[in-house]
Amino acid sequence: MQKSPPKKQIRKPQQQRRPGTEEKMHPEPVFDQQDVKGSGKLKNKIALITGGDSGIGKAVAILFAKEGADVAIAYLNENKDAKETKRIIEERYKKKCLLIPGNLSREQHCITAVKKTKKEYGRIDILVNNAGMHFENKTLEELSTREMIRTFEVNIFSFFWVTKAALPHMKKGSCIINSSSVTAYRGSSSLIDYSATKGAIVAFTRSLSSNLIEKGIRVNGVAPGPVWTPLIPSSFKAKKVAQHGSNSPMQRAGEPVEIAPCYLFLACDDSSYMSGQFLHPNGGEIING
């Protein structure tokens, strides 16, 4: 039997404890293009972003602020990353940033995060459900019930709970953007829990889009491929981290700054005729979804 070619190493092997931090990543993720100026696409908008302290969520929060939005960031406990995101938003782009630490796998905290956003800003125009995690297991037998439940609580239950709490504070013209994954469309043999939740997010997005269409609230999603975020070194072994993204057609992982524009497009009026759809920044993989 012919062996498959070895995966390309594209960075040094590295590993962190969950949930991981950007400052310990080498190289650090690219989250902003300072030479590209905003154009006011989200002027005077209010955005709540879960998982907005680092990775894709951080890049989205910073881009939204650059485009004129005040933001609230709900995250677990990565305070150093969150404070750095807040500093950039407030000092570089002169917008407000509310930090809301806590466990989004608990319904009450999801409700609390929305209440704090409403109290600070008075409304929610854009909701980005982005918090996520996964456990790597070679077989289904190795995937524990605890791990599976934990992944579902963070990756899909929080989407239900945050959205349910936010909807009373969203009006016609508001929008919801859900983070799925390329694994929702082609699966992953070692991330069964994660892929299952990401598939659920696709169905949730399409169903909620239909449900809210008469209220004038659009619901769309983004399904990234491999991206260089703290989730990677805090979830995989060092050797796999070094090869992350090398199997994509572009043979590399994406940077958060390359993913964030998809969220901006779905958040602004440029996508006013889109709902129930997904964008696929995945390095060239064709998934027909």
Whose tokens are 């349910």? That residue is 164
- The DSSP secondary structure of 36-85, one letter per residue, reads SPP--TTTT-EEEEET-SSHHHHHHHHHHHHTT-EEEEEESS-HHHHHHH
Catalytic residue among 75, 93, 185, 194: 194
Q: Of all residues in the chain, what percent are helix, strand and coil, respectively (each to 5)?
A: 40, 10, 45
Token code pair at residue 287:
């998934």
CA 91 to centroid of chain Cα atoms? 23
Q: Which letter does DSSP use for residue 151 in this model?
A: H
- The DSSP secondary structure of 156-186, one letter per residue, reads IIHHHHHHHHHGGG--TT-EEEEE--THHHH
| Whole-number Å distance between alpha carbons of 247 and 15 | 20
Name the residue type at position 240.
K
| Whole-number Å distance between alpha carbons of 128 and 11 | 30
Name the residue type at position 137.
N
Active-site residue flag, 194: yes
| Whole-number Å distance between alpha carbons of 172 and 166 | 13
Q: What angle do CA 57, 128, 48 make, to 5 degrees?
A: 90
Residues carrying an active site annotation: 194
